[in-house]
């Protein structure tokens, strides 16, 4: 699909807080993801020079193109961030209007903005005017069950200048449970002229095909990629990569950019995802979680996967 003046593929890695750091994005890109997104970045914290927030902006040259996702409710701060040099290296700037986390909603950010489409317009239009690259938006179909503002939200984002929208086919109230509303995603696609990406419960080829049947231009893969970067290879029909080598690369990239404490804490949860679903993986999960050092945990996982010929 075309987003702005550039052509992209159609299978993307979703932004996920605490998950899509630079190492994971890198291995997903290697496995076939056409576009990756950073974890969502607090625009206000970024403008207050939070080093922890700036760490979320670390990228790897091989993951181009790459998008940054920001969130906030003050259109002036959001615009300031979009105009800053901090985001210069990114190809796209995505605005989060979908995060359902209570602490985000409490501050009037994320999916809370689904209750104020006038504010959404101000935020998107301000960012479009300030940025020198395409602005895209990600949102849910509504805040509460029974409240469906998806078509109106899509048109507001388009009218404000967004170049692409991503629709997660659930309400904020649903969180990540319940059925994805494919009909609404299809209705959104038919109501706007800009590209539409579908999101929600894409875990395999079958669910990918179901999402494509809505007519969307692209598909965003979230939880289906956890411990499974090769999902992108499967969806695109290309050769899968060796899982052990992907894990080694994941660790390598993190160690190039962060201290060992962060790397260890981050990779231990990823290691558990990497072995989840493998036959007899439960017997080693405790060993992986309690191993003294990350390298010890990796050796356990490597031996297990070699025995399972992965």
Q: Where are the domains of the chain?
A: 2-236, 243-307
Query: SS3 for 83-113, per residue?
Result: HCHHHCCCCEEEEEECCCCHHHHHCCCHHHH
For range 101-127, the mean pLDDT: 97
For range 266-293, the mean pLDDT: 94
pLDDT at 168: 98
Give the Cα-Cα-Cα angle 278, 31, 210 (nearest 5 degrees): 75
- 82 is a catalytic site residue: no
pLDDT at 310: 61
Identified catalytic residue from 28, 99, 127, 137: 99
- Distance separating alpha carbons of residues 34 and 193, to the nearest angstrom: 22
Task: State how beta strands 2-3 and 6-7 pair.
Answer: antiparallel
CATH tag for 2-236 (out of 3.10.520.10, 3.40.50.300, 3.20.20.70, 3.30.870.10):
3.20.20.70
Q: Do 191 and 155 form a contact (C-beta atoms < 8 A)?
A: yes
125 pLDDT above the threshold of 80: yes
pLDDT digits (tens, 9 = 90+) for 191-227: 999 999 999 999 999 999 999 999 999 999 999 999 9
pLDDT digits (tens, 9 = 90+) for 44-103: 999 998 999 999 999 999 999 999 999 999 999 999 999 999 999 999 999 999 999 999
pLDDT at 308: 82
pLDDT at 184: 98
Compute CA 304 distance to the chain's CA centroid, rounded to the nearest angstrom.
Answer: 29
- Distance separating alpha carbons of residues 141 and 146, to the nearest angstrom: 10
175 pLDDT above the threshold of 90: yes
Percentage of residues in the chain having pLDDT higher than 90: 95
Tokens of 105: 């909603």
């Amino acid at each position: 699909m075309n987003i702005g003046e550039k052509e992209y593929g159609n299978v993307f890695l979703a932004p996920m807080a605490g998950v899509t750091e630079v190492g994971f994005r890198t291995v997903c890109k290697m496995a076939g993801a056409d576009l990756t997104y950073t974890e969502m970045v607090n625009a206000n914290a970024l403008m207050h020079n939070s080093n922890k927030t700036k760490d979320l902006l670390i990228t790897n040259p091989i993951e181009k193109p790459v998008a940054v996702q920001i969130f906030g409710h003050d259109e002036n701060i959001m615009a300031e961030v979009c105009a800053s040099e901090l985001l210069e290296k990114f190809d796209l700037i995505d605005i989060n209007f979908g995060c359902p986390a209570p602490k985000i909603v409490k501050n009037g950010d994320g999916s809370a903005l689904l209750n104020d489409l006038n504010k959404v317009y101000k935020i998107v239009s301000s960012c479009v005017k300030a940025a020198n690259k395409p602005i895209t938006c990600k949102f849910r179909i509504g805040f509460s069950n029974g409240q469906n503002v998806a078509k109106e939200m899509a048109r507001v984002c388009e009218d404000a200048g967004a170049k692409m929208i991503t629709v997660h086919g659930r309400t904020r109230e649903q969180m990540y449970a319940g059925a994805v509303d494919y009909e609404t995603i299809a209705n959104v696609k038919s109501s706007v002229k800009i590209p539409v990406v579908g999101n929600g419960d894409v875990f395999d080829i079958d669910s990918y095909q179901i999402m494509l049947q809505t007519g969307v231009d692209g598909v965003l893969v979230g939880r289906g990629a956890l411990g499974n970067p090769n999902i992108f290879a499967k969806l695109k029909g290309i050769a899968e990569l060796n899982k052990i080598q992907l894990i080694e690369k994941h660790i390598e990239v993190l160690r190039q950019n962060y201290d060992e404490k962060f790397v260890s804490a981050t990779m231990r949860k990823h290691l558990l995802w990497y072995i989840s679903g493998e036959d007899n993986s439960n017997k080693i999960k405790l060993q992986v979680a309690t191993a003294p050092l990350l390298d010890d945990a990796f050796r356990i996982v490597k031996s297990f996967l070699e025995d399972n010929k992965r």
